[in-house]
């Protein structure tokens, strides 16, 4: 890991993984393996990184991969272009397939009950072309939202009673109550990202219940209080941070994935994974129960 020159106030960042991912996404800490999992969506690759040894691995997936999360049965669950699958001791296996021409997988998150909420979007980002769905350990799939443009960050409050969600073109971070059957209800805005500040992309929730949001074309990660008030900004030299998540042995390091796709002259760090050591305190993320 190398220290970058950029900083905002007293917030310095390091380069955890120097890479040229087209669309890096979904940094997720695997506590059992003590490593970070992240994906390059358009590169169809699942990456891992051990911050202690520096060891990195790369696995090529069957299709464009929107997200990869640790799985209780070993290996990972992946949100692929045509559905949800697992890579593990038994090899590759589809859990759910629903191929739609022109549509691909995007971000996903494991809920406190071990189910996976997985999003989709059209390659052309057409409004209403995406979805948010839930798959449980036994493979049961339930539609959550069916009128989405770019399904992105999803996370839960420390007590599990609230869910946060981003459909990027809305410019909002929304909050839901968790209803019966662990399905979100009562959607309302937590905060709205102002014009010119970029587009909300991936998110994570910390132990204080604050929501950290990566801003695509905003070159920053912001932290919002549970009341929706902005209380911290981590500025970055790359224009397209995509997602953020806490990792490390004590969950205090904030990892940030970035993208270089669509940039005529990408910053040298675009496509790398950055990290802000000691940024806060994250929440333990459960593995997918399937």
Helix (H) or strand (E) holding 253: strand 253-258
281: left (phi over 0), alpha (psi -120 to 50) or beta: beta
Nearest to 197, CA basis, from 214, 174, 180, 179:
214
Q: Is residue 259 within 8 Å of residue 272, measured between CB atoms?
A: no
- 97 beta partners: 83
**Catalytic-residue membership of 201:** yes
- List the catalytic residue out of 30, 82, 167, 201: 201
Pairing status of strand 273-276 against strand 253-258:
antiparallel
102: left (phi over 0), alpha (psi -120 to 50) or beta: left
Distance CA 181, CA 62 (A): 32
What's the DSSP call for residue 281?
A: -
Q: Is residue 2 within 8 Å of residue 241, measured between CB atoms?
A: no
- 121 beta partners: 104, 150
Active centre residues (catalytic): 201
């Amino acid at each position: 890991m190398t220290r970058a020159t950029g900083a905002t106030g007293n917030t310095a960042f390091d380069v955890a993984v120097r890479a040229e991912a087209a669309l890096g996404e979904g940094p997720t800490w695997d506590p059992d393996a003590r490593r970070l999992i992240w994906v390059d969506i358009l590169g169809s690759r699942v990456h891992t990184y051990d911050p202690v040894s520096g060891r990195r691995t790369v696995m090529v997936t069957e299709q464009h991969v929107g997200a990869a999360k640790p799985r209780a049965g070993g290996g990972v669950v992946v949100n692929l272009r045509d559905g949800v699958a697992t890579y593990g001791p038994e090899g590759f296996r589809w859990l759910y397939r629903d191929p739609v021409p022109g549509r691909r997988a995007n971000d996903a998150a494991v809920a406190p009950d071990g189910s996976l909420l997985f999003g989709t979007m059209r390659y052309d980002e057409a409004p209403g072309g995406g979805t948010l769905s839930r798959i449980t350990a036994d493979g049961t799939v339930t539609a959550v939202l069916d009128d989405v443009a770019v399904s992105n960050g999803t996370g839960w409050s420390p007590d599990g009673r609230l869910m946060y969600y981003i459909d990027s073109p809305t410019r909002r971070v929304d909050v839901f109550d968790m209803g019966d059957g662990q399905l979100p209800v009562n959607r309302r805005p937590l905060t709205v990202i102002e014009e010119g500040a970029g587009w909300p992309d991936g998110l994570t929730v910390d132990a204080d219940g604050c929501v950290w949001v990566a801003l695509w074309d905003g070159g920053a990660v912001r932290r919002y209080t549970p009341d929706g008030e902005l209380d911290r900004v981590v500025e970055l030299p790359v224009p397209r941070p995509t997602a953020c998540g806490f990792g490390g042995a004590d969950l205090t390091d904030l990892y940030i994935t970035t993208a270089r796709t669509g940039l005529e002259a990408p910053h040298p760090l675009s496509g790398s994974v950055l990290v802000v050591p000691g940024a806060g305190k994250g929440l333990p993320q459960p593995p997918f129960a399937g």
